[in-house]
Every structure is written in structure tokens, then in C-alpha cells.
């Protein structure tokens, strides 16, 4: 596992968020040559609550509605061929991801790479997609008990 140490660079000055943790880590290393790799943070990472809501409420509600509507299989395109597969929560997850996880017309963003804002947009798009195409209402997070 590669250790990560959040830091800020303001006006060319490097400031570690938790310098004592970094110092403790470095003290435990053997002498030698190392290199640092910088990655710009694009935003606050999505929250576990967002993912929990998606997997515990949005996907099961959409799946339940599809089954109630009599859909037990779906035709998907794989390469140049079409294949009929049974509808499962995993298939519903893939459908929502392909339909709703594109931002600014770009490629699908993996949920693991989403920021909090991107996850919020993805959830909103998923809820609207379910309302439009499945005619089902996804309960709001504060309505879920």
C-alpha cells in the first residue's frame, strides 16, 4: 500500500496537513533514495452515506420496479452482438451507471473515483432516470429509515 499524506500548496509553499504523522512515517524508513508523487485533489471524495444510499435504496427500488413491471430480462449489446441477460441489482447498477455517470458528455466516471459533488449529480440523475423511464419514486435519504 502506498502511503498518502494530504498537503496543501499555497503560493508555492508546501504545507502538510499532519506534519507529525509524516515525520513519524519517515523516521521509520530505511536510509535510501525515495521520490514523492504529487496528485492534485479534484474535490472532496464521495461519502459512504452517498454510496450506501445508492446501493441500499436507489438500486433496489429501481430493480423492484422493473420486476413489478414484468421485466425479468434485458437485451444488452456486447461488442457487435446482442445478448439477453436476467435483470439483477448488478444489471440495474450497470444501467444506471451507463445512463447517468457521464459528466459534460465525457466518458462514464467510475463511482470509486467520484468526488462528493459528482456523486451527488450521479444520484440526482439516477433518481430522475428512474422517475422518467421506470415511473417510480426513489425515497429521499431523509425519508429512509
DSSP per position, 38-66: -----SPBPPHHHHHHIIIIIHHHHHHHH
| Domain-embedded: residue 36 | no
Question: 7 in a domain, yes or no?
Answer: no
Domain that holds residue 87: 48-143
Residue 77 resides in a domain: yes
101 within 8 A of 129, measured Cβ to Cβ: no
Higher confidence at residue 133 or residue 104?
Answer: 133
pTM > 0.85: yes or no: no
DSSP state of 77: E
Residue 119 lies in a domain: yes
Asked, for residue 41, whether it belongs to a domain, the answer is: no
pLDDT digits (tens, 9 = 90+) for 92-127: 999 999 888 887 677 888 888 888 999 999 999 999
Predicted confidence at residue 143, as pLDDT, reads 67
Tell me whether residue 69 is in a domain. yes
pLDDT (0 to 100) of residue 37: 82
Is 123 part of any domain?
A: yes
Residue 145 has pLDDT above 60, yes or no: no
Give per-residue pLDDT as tens, 11-66.
888 888 888 988 998 998 999 998 888 777 778 889 999 999 999 999 999 999 99
**111 is a domain residue:** yes
SS3 state at 7: strand
Domain count, the chain: 1
Q: Mark out the alpha helices in the chain (DSSP H runs).
A: 19-27, 48-53, 59-68, 89-100, 116-129
Q: Which three three-digit cell numbers place residue 91?
A: 444489471
Amino acid at each position: 500500500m502506498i502511503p498518502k499524506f494530504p498537503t496543501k500548496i499555497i503560493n508555492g509553499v508546501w504545507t502538510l496537513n499532519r506534519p507529525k504523522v509524516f515525520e513519524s512515517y519517515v523516521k521509520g524508513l530505511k536510509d535510501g533514495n525515495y521520490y514523492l508523487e504529487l496528485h492534485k485533489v479534484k474535490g472532496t471524495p464521495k461519502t459512504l452515506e452517498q454510496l450506501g444510499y445508492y446501493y441500499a435504496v436507489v438500486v433496489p427500488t429501481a430493480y423492484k420496479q422493473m420486476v413489478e413491471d414484468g421485466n425479468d430480462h434485458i437485451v444488452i449489446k456486447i461488442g457487435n452482438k446482442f445478448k439477453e441477460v436476467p435483470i439483477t441489482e448488478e444489471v440495474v447498477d450497470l444501467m444506471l451507471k451507463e445512463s447517468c455517470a457521464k459528466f459534460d458528455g465525457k466518458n462514464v466516471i467510475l463511482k470509486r473515483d467520484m468526488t462528493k459533488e459528482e456523486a451527488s449529480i450521479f444520484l440526482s440523475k439516477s433518481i430522475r432516470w428512474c422517475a422518467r423511464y421506470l415511473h417510480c419514486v426513489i425515497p429521499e435519504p431523509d425519508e429512509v429509515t
